[in-house]
Structure 1
Amino acid sequence: MSAPTFELTFPHTWQVEILPERPVILPARHFVYPREVEEIERGALEVLVRPDDPGSSPFLATCALGFRDPVVPTGIWSAPNPREICAISGGYAYIVDTAAPENFTMLPYRPVLQVQPVVDRDLLLFVGNRSIVAWGVNGEAWETVKLSDEGVAITAIEGAVLRGRGWNMMTDKETPFALNLKSGVLLTK
């Protein structure tokens, strides 16, 4: 697993600390993501979260490790919703509501290969092998159609347009694409 990334681009209402290992004595509030998982045996990202809300107490988030490959992200990202935290553990991505940590979403990409905040559009983009998911203030904003047979790369974000490339198996070439950032709709291929 690579060194954790901290990307706190969006305003957030929590503080966080990545622990080197699970504490011997667990805090009163401890959540495992996903809830029933065998992957915990391979390792986990242990995150102590302190919500800024005076009515919320700190909690430990144990996020199952996906892959130990340094090319997949591990770390903490702020999300467009200030109450949400995005924890990624070896490419497995979890969005957690810090005011109600029992409420979480595990993104379907296994693994997420890249995370790209787009602050002026209130989006956190998750790049997988074949497509992109955008997370907004109210949850999943959109998911693209298949953009590649293996490997998507974002090359530029210009206003409301995301440009990228993906490998096309039939032509054995990298193919450029452009997306509307508001809808995720493919503009050109």
Structure 2
Amino acid sequence: MNSPTTDLSFPHNWSAKILPHPPLILPTRQFIYPKKAEDIGRGALEVMIRPAASEPFLGTFALGFADLAAPSGLWSSPDPDWLCAVAGGYAYLVNTSRPEQFEQIEYRPVQQVRALPCHGLLVFAGHHALQAWGAARKVWETERLSSEGVEITRIEGNHLEGIGWDMIADRDVPFTIDLRTGARIKLRGQAAETE
């Protein structure tokens, strides 16, 4: 696992610390994500989480991939009670006030995570598409943008720009996404039209 990222761009009602190993004295509350203990056999991201209004707990997040290119770390989310933990490309959103309530992002692996507080979105890049989560959970998912690998290159105003590999053209192809809807935008000269 690579050096973890911490991005607390969104206001949040919790504090969290990534631990190098499980604590010697375990807290009263412990949660494994996902819920199957065998999923942590490949390794895990151990995080001590302290919600503002309840007891601390240890979150053990199953590692997706040991590849250094797969992201790991902690992100605050558009909902101040929810935390996003990524362990080797497996991304989890956890309600820190009710830790048994969580979502696992379906991309395996997630290749990039971008916090966009001005849009109220946490954006996840997978191999083929993008997904955005807001305070109301999953807000949108793009169409297929790539045959293998999506990279976010720039965010300006309500547009997200990136590149994706087109297997038929045998090259990277740029794309632009409307952050309000997740729709792909075709650029013609200076004008933008939403499909």
TM-score by length of 1: 0.96
- Map of 1:25 onto structure 2: 25
Q: 2:63 aligns with which of 62, 65, 77?
A: 65
Mapping for residues 1-189 of structure 1, pairs under 5 Å: 1-53=1-53, 56-188=54-186
Cα distance in 2 for partners of 1:70, 1:28 equals 32
Q: Secondary structure at the match of 1:134?
A: strand
Cα distance in 1 for partners of 2:122, 2:25 equals 34
Which digits, 9 at most, give the CA deviation of each residue in 1:72-118, with x for residues without a partner? 11110000111000000001000000010000000001111111111
Structure 1 residue 39, shift from structure 2 partner: 2.6
Letter in 1 for 2:49: V
Structure 1 residue 26, shift from structure 2 partner: 2.1
Q: What count of residue pairs does the alignment treat as equivalent?
A: 187
Cα distance in 2 for partners of 1:111, 1:188 equals 27
Structure 2 gaps of 5+ residues are 188-195
Cα distance in 2 for partners of 1:172, 1:37 equals 41
Cα distance in 2 for partners of 1:175, 1:43 equals 35
Cα distance in 2 for partners of 1:37, 1:50 equals 22
Q: Secondary structure at the match of 1:72?
A: coil
Structure 1 residue 37, shift from structure 2 partner: 4.5
User: Which aligned runs of 4 or more in structure 1 are off by greater than 4 angstroms?
Assistant: none
Structure 1 residue 36, shift from structure 2 partner: 1.1
Structure 1 residue 24, shift from structure 2 partner: 3.5
Cα distance in 1 for partners of 2:175, 2:136 equals 26
Letter in 2 for 1:187: I
Q: Percent identity?
A: 50
TM-score by length of 2: 0.93
Structure 1 gaps of 5+ residues are none
Cα distance in 2 for partners of 1:12, 1:19 equals 20
Cα distance in 1 for partners of 2:26, 2:153 equals 43
Q: Secondary structure at the match of 1:164?
A: strand
- Map of 2:193 onto structure 1: none
Cα distance in 2 for partners of 1:64, 1:88 equals 9
